[in-house]
Amino acid sequence: MLNLPRGNNPLFAIGCLWEGAKMLTHPELRKYLLIPLFINMVLYTGAFVLGYHSVSALIHSFIPDWLSWLNWILWPLFFISFLVIGFFTFTLFANLIAAPYYSQLAAKTLQLISGGSVVKADLPWDKVFFGELRRVGYLLLRVLPLLLLFLIPVVNLIAPLLWAVFAAWGIAMEFLAYPLEERGMPFPEQKQFMKQTRWGVISLGGLTGLGLTLPIVNLLMGQAAVIGATIYVYRLAQVESPASDQPMA
């Protein structure tokens, strides 16, 4: 039974993510970090280089020399756009590729923090696969309406806030899937869990999203989020006691 009121506490969720970041140095987790790290390095570097050269070519093609002063506006817009769409393109793609390794990382983390006392409840592979597709579809179907809000006068003033909240929700949905699937929870039940722990989930996803926008930090942020999400779910399954609040080794 999950302690859902506790999971709705933003400070509790952020604390779990911080513990996840600290566990990145755990000797028994290192081998589970290398392949996702390599995937992130390749995708983020490729995305940045491709985006840089594409924007540079567009600027030189459509901006005449006498308007070259616009470069100081266009380049910051490129970097901001790269950060905004990064999650919904390359982060989702990276997670899809790294999903098997993130699942192993979540399973190993659960073994470490529970002392091996928690039995893994595997979902059938087809439910996991179709759950991932449904999760990606759930997010992508909501991206276009949110983008359209930027074109509506007055409403576009709050569009960045709505986008930020949705991004935090989507990021949390991606990383919480691994520990929740370890508990045998399919996608519909995952959504219900998130709705009942809304503020904790948004806090967890928001801080993870911030880390994903930071160069260098984003290379290991996904792994920290998987570990932190696993700690979050595991803690909610424990009977609240002083012992359950001790830092993980």
Q: Encode pLDDT of 215-231 as tens digits.
A: 778 788 888 999 999 99
> pTM value?
0.75
Q: Taking Cα atoms as reference points, which of 144, 155, 133, 27 lies closest to residue 85?
A: 144
**How many other C-beta atoms can be found within 10 angstroms of the C-beta atom of residue 159?**
16
Helix, strand, or coil (residue 171): helix
| CA gap 240, 3 in Å, rounded | 8
Q: Sign of torsion, CA 29 35 38 43? A: negative
- Is residue 174 scored above 80 in pLDDT? yes
Span 8-26, pLDDT tens digits: 899 999 999 999 999 999 9
Q: 74-113: per-residue pLDDT in tens?
A: 556 655 555 556 555 666 667 677 777 888 889 899 989 9
Closest among 88, 80, 212, 199 to 143, alpha carbons compared: 88
Identify whether the C-beta of residue 112 lies closer than 8 Å to the C-beta of residue 248.
yes
Q: Are the beta carbons of 17 and 228 closer than 8 angstroms?
A: yes
